[in-house]
């Protein structure tokens, strides 16, 4: 029941409350040129001054200030004002420029203090494919966003989107969603060191947010969170305003759930979905890329093993769709996975002595190979890794 006692406490609680500080200069991330253009300006600035390769202390002057002689923050802000000013809508164009920059930092595209940017940012900028853009956007937001970070504040120890999604996935099967009021409650929770919220935390914080009148005071922040989650791959927002729910689309849980606790379920779900969509675009349906046959239980088979990538802290590689082939279960998947065969530079198969003679005959008779259209530059990078491991395991100095 709605209480009427929070009004007396509103001012008092504002003085010390923790909440997710999420404001954005843009909300149309995938369909508007201005988002990409602003991002391109920031990326060009980071590249021009090689800021991603500087030591973080070179970029800072004290705890929360730029070393402007190195970061050239004034140059970047002035460039954004000149190229993407507010057209007279803002009294302070410099403040508007800072808000635009902070948008990309909060979303995880750019690091605080301009200390580099997410690995797939340039692919995102070049892409005109809506599915690819959505996948990259979702992956960056999920893995790198931090709502309380800004130009000179690094709060990347707290990732609110990841926390929300893991909270939903860890709820009972009949409650795999968040209501509007549950979301508001979580926005008052300090999540540092937490993987997800438990049911009691969800309920307790919902009551606390109601008690403090959080929704009335932080309406814009709530709106930005809901809008952002609604644009993530595999998630949707149903209903409006106080009746809205954040939930998985349709049967998307089939893509997300897995039993490998070391592997992040949402990032792997994004990867799996992207590989399926690639097959649909290349072949019109989901097929084994080796046999060209439709097969039940197709496997998204890593070239650079996910457990090795995760062990080596190559997290982005572990979930890169180009680090995978869509293969039939059984021999095609197992021989690639166990490095008993590998792919040549032209898509042919190189078989070890460990491959059964019956499969060798099948390869010869059926002409199994990986088509050139699958072998894009990014995938070839991972095929080279696979070839290297294959040669090492079979004591081969050169592939024939």
Q: pLDDT tens digit string along 140-154?
A: 999 999 999 999 999
The pTM of the full predicted model, rounded to 2 decimals, is: 0.85
H/E segment holding residue 246: strand 245-248
What does DSSP assign to residue 100?
Answer: H
Q: What is the CA radius of gyration of the chain?
A: 24
Nearest CA among 238, 42, 40, 274 for reference residue 139: 274
386 shares a domain with 291: yes
* Distances from the Cα of 203 to the Cα of 4, 17, 199, 206, 244, angstroms: 19, 18, 6, 5, 17
- Judge whether 137 lies within some domain: no
Measured in residues, the chain has a length of 400
378 shares a domain with 293: yes
**Structural domain count of the chain:** 3
Residue 371 has pLDDT above 90, yes or no: yes
Q: How many CB atoms lie within 10 A of CB 286?
A: 16
- Judge whether 152 lies within some domain: no
How many whole angstroms from its chain centre is CA 39? 16
What does DSSP assign to residue 322?
Answer: G
Long-range contacts of 241-248 (CB under 8 A, 24+ apart): 241/180, 242/180, 242/181, 243/180, 244/179, 244/180, 245/177, 245/178, 245/179, 245/180, 246/164, 246/168, 246/177, 246/178, 246/183, 247/168, 247/176, 247/177, 247/178, 248/168, 248/176, 248/177
Assign residue 189 the CATH number of its domain. Answer: 1.10.10
Q: For residue 255, what are its two tokens?
A: 């893509």
Residue ranges making up the domain that contains 217: 10-19+159-248
- Tens digit of pLDDT for each residue in 218-236? 888 899 999 999 999 999 9
- Judge whether 37 lies within some domain: yes
Please report the pLDDT score of residue 257 as a whole number: 60
- Judge whether 4 lies within some domain: no
300 shares a domain with 386: yes
- Judge whether 153 lies within some domain: no
Measured distance CA(23)–CA(295) in Å, rounded: 46
Residue 73 has pLDDT above 90, yes or no: yes
- Judge whether 40 lies within some domain: yes
322 shares a domain with 298: yes
320 shares a domain with 208: no
Least confident of 4-18, 227-241, 286-300: 4-18
- Judge whether 24 lies within some domain: no
240 shares a domain with 171: yes
365 shares a domain with 283: yes
340 shares a domain with 268: yes
242 or 318, which is more confident?
A: 318
Measured distance CA(350)–CA(11) in Å, rounded: 70
Q: For residue 162, what are its two tokens?
A: 């990841």
258 or 101, which is more confident?
A: 101
> Domain boundary residue among 248, 276, 297?
248
> Domain boundary residue among 117, 151, 179?
117
> Binning pLDDT at 50, 70 and 90, where does residue 192 land?
confident
273 shares a domain with 244: no
381 shares a domain with 304: yes
- Judge whether 139 lies within some domain: no
Nearest CA among 214, 225, 273 for reference residue 107: 225
42 shares a domain with 113: yes
101 shares a domain with 58: yes
Residue 17 has pLDDT above 60, yes or no: no
Give the strand pairing for 299-302 and 245-248. Answer: unpaired
Beta sheet of 235-238, edge-to-edge order = 177-179, 245-248, 235-238
> Domain boundary residue among 182, 216, 248?
248
Nearest CA among 366, 368, 372, 313 for reference residue 336: 368
């Amino acid at each position: 029941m709605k209480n009427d006692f929070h009004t007396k406490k509103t001012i008092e609680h504002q003085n010390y409350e923790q909440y997710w500080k999420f404001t954005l200069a843009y909300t149309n991330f995938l369909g508007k040129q201005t988002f990409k253009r602003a991002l391109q300006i920031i990326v060009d600035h980071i590249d021009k001054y090689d800021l991603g390769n500087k030591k973080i202390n070179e970029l800072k002057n004290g705890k929360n200030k730029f070393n402007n002689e190195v970061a050239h923050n004034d140059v970047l802000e002035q460039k954004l004002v000149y190229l993407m000013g507010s057209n007279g809508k803002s009294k302070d164009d410099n403040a508007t420029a800072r808000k635009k920059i902070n948008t990309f930092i909060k979303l995880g595209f750019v690091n605080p203090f301009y200390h580099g940017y997410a690995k797939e940012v340039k692919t995102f900028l070049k892409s005109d494919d809506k599915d690819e853009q959505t996948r990259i956007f979702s992956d960056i937001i999920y893995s790198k966003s931090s709502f309380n970070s800004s130009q000179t504040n690094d709060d990347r120890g707290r990732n609110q989107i990841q926390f929300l999604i893991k909270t939903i996935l860890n709820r009972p099967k009949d409650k795999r969603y968040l209501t509007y009021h549950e979301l508001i409650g979580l926005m008052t929770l300090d999540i540092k060191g937490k993987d997800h919220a438990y049911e009691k935390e969800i309920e307790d914080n919902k009551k606390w947010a109601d008690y403090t009148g959080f929704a009335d005071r932080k309406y814009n922040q709530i709106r930005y969170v809901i809008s952002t989650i609604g644009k993530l791959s595999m998630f949707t927002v149903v209903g409006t305003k106080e009746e809205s729910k954040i939930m998985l689309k349709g049967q998307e849980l089939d893509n997300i759930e897995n039993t490998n606790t070391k592997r992040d379920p949402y990032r792997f779900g994004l990867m799996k979905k992207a590989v399926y969509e690639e097959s649909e675009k290349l072949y019109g349906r989901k097929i084994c890329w080796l046999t060209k046959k439709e097969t039940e239980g197709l496997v998204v088979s890593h070239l650079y093993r996910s457990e090795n990538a995760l062990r080596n802290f190559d997290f982005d590689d572990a979930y890169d769709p180009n680090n995978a082939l869509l293969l039939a279960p059984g021999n095609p998947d197992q021989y690639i996975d166990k490095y008993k065969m590998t792919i040549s530079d032209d898509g042919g198969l190189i078989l070890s002595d460990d491959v059964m003679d019956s499969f060798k005959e099948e390869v010869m008779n059926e002409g199994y190979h990986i088509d050139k259209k699958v072998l894009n530059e990014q995938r070839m990078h991972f095929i080279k890794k696979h070839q290297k491991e294959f040669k090492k395991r079979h004591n081969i100095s050169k592939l024939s």
